[in-house]
Amino acid sequence: VTNHSQSTRKNKMKRVFGKKKAPGPPPPSLADASDSLGQRTTHIDTKIATLEKELAVYKNKLKTAKPSAKKNLQKRAMDVLKRKRMYESQRDQLMGQQFNMDQAAFGIESAKATIESVAAMKAANTELKRVVQKDLDIDDVDDLADDMEELMYEMNEINDAMGRNFATPDDITADDLEAELDMLGDELEDEIGEGADEVPSYLQENLPANPTGTPQHQKDSTEATLAGL
What own/partner pairs with CB < 8 Å and gap ≥ 24 does 105-114 have? 105/30, 105/31, 105/34, 108/30
pLDDT of residue 174: 73
pLDDT of residue 141: 80
CA dist., res. 182 & res. 176, Å (int): 10
CA dist., res. 40 & res. 30, Å (int): 15
Within 8 A by CB and 6+ apart from 173, the residues are none
Per-residue pLDDT of the chain in tens (229 residues, 90 and over written 9): 455 566 666 666 666 555 566 666 788 888 888 899 999 999 999 999 999 999 999 888 888 888 888 888 889 999 999 999 999 999 999 999 999 999 999 999 999 999 999 999 999 999 988 887 777 777 888 888 889 999 999 899 888 888 776 665 566 677 777 777 777 777 666 666 655 555 555 555 555 555 555 555 555 655 555 555 5
CA angle 46-49-54, nearest 5°?
130
Looking at residue 211, the DSSP 8-state letter turns out to be P
